[in-house]
Structure 1
Amino acid sequence: MKRPWRCAYLLESLALLLGLSLPALAEEKLRIVTEELPPFNMTIDGHLTGLCTEIVEAILDEIGETATIQSMPWARAYDIATNTENVLIYCMARTASRELKFKWVDTIAQTDWYLFSLNPNLRLNSLDEARRLQIATVKDDAGEQYLIGQGFAVGQNLQSSNKYEHNYEKLLLGRVDLWIANEPNAVYLVRSAGQDPAQTLHRALALANLGGARGLSMAFSLKTPDATVERFRTGLQKIRASGRYDTITRKWQ
Structure 2
Amino acid sequence: MRSLVLAGAFIFVQFGTVSATELKLVTQSYPPYSFLGADGTPIGASVEEMQSILVGTDIAYTMEIVPSARALALAETLDQFCFFGAGRLAERETRFKWVSPLFADATLLVANSHTSVHPATLADAKSMTIGTQRDTAIATILQNSGFRRLDLSSSFELTLAKLMERRIDLMTIRAATYRKLKREFQPLRAVLTLTDQEFGIACNKNIPDKVIAKLRAGLDRIRADGTMRSIFTKYGIEPD
TM-score normalised by L of structure 2? 0.81
CA shift at 1:64, angstroms?
A: 3.4
User: 1:131 and 1:61 mapped to 2: Cα distance?
Assistant: 45
Question: What is the aligned length?
Answer: 215
User: 1:120 and 1:243 mapped to 2: Cα distance?
Assistant: 43
What residue number does 1:31 align with? Answer: 24
Q: Structure 1 residue 137 and structure 2 residue 132: aligned?
A: yes
Aligned residue identity for 2:228:
Y
Taking structure 1 as reference, are residues 138 and 35 closer, same or farther at Cα in structure 2, changes over 3 Å only? same
What residue number does 2:119 align with? Answer: 123
What residue number does 1:88 align with? Answer: 82
Aligned residue identity for 2:201:
M
Q: CA RMSD in A?
A: 2.0
8 A contact 1:62–1:239 mirrored in 2: no
8 A contact 1:102–1:220 mirrored in 2: yes
Q: Which runs of 5 or more residues in structure 2 are unaligned?
A: 1-18
What residue number does 2:45 align with? Answer: 51
What residue number does 1:246 align with? Answer: 229
Q: Percent identity?
A: 27
CA shift at 1:164, angstroms?
A: 0.9
User: 1:231 and 1:121 mapped to 2: Cα distance?
Assistant: 47
User: What's the secondary structure of 1:203's corresponding residue?
Assistant: strand
User: 1:243 and 1:179 mapped to 2: Cα distance?
Assistant: 33
Q: Which runs of 5 or more residues in structure 1 are unaligned?
A: 1-25
8 A contact 2:106–2:175 mirrored in 1: yes
Aligned residue identity for 1:237:
D
Taking structure 1 as reference, are residues 75 and 189 closer, same or farther at Cα in structure 2, changes over 3 Å only? farther
8 A contact 2:22–2:60 mirrored in 1: no
Task: Flag the structure with higher strand content.
Answer: 2
CA shift at 1:121, angstroms?
A: 6.4
8 A contact 1:34–1:70 mirrored in 2: yes
User: 2:58 and 2:234 mapped to 1: Cα distance?
Assistant: 24
User: 1:247 and 1:133 mapped to 2: Cα distance?
Assistant: 39
User: What's the secondary structure of 1:147's corresponding residue?
Assistant: helix
TM-score normalised by L of structure 1? 0.78
User: What's the secondary structure of 1:233's corresponding residue?
Assistant: helix
8 A contact 1:39–1:185 mirrored in 2: yes
Which of residues 191, 203, 209 is equivalent to 2:190? 203
What residue number does 2:150 align with? Answer: 158
CA shift at 1:65, angstroms?
A: 2.1
8 A contact 1:86–1:225 mirrored in 2: no
What residue number does 1:175 align with? Answer: 167
Report which of the two structures shows the higher radius of gyration computed on alpha carbons: 1
User: What's the secondary structure of 1:63's corresponding residue?
Assistant: coil
CA shift at 1:228, angstroms?
A: 1.3
What are the superposed Cα offsets for residues 221-248 of structure 1, whole Å, 9 maximum, x if unpaired? 1222222111100111122222222222
What are the superposed Cα offsets for residues 83-121 of structure 1, whole Å, 9 maximum, x if unpaired? 111322111111222222211111112311111113566
Taking structure 1 as reference, are residues 179 and 121 closer, same or farther at Cα in structure 2, changes over 3 Å only? closer
CA shift at 1:75, angstroms?
A: 1.0
Aligned residue identity for 2:192:
L
Q: Structure 1 residue 113 and structure 2 residue 91: aligned?
A: no
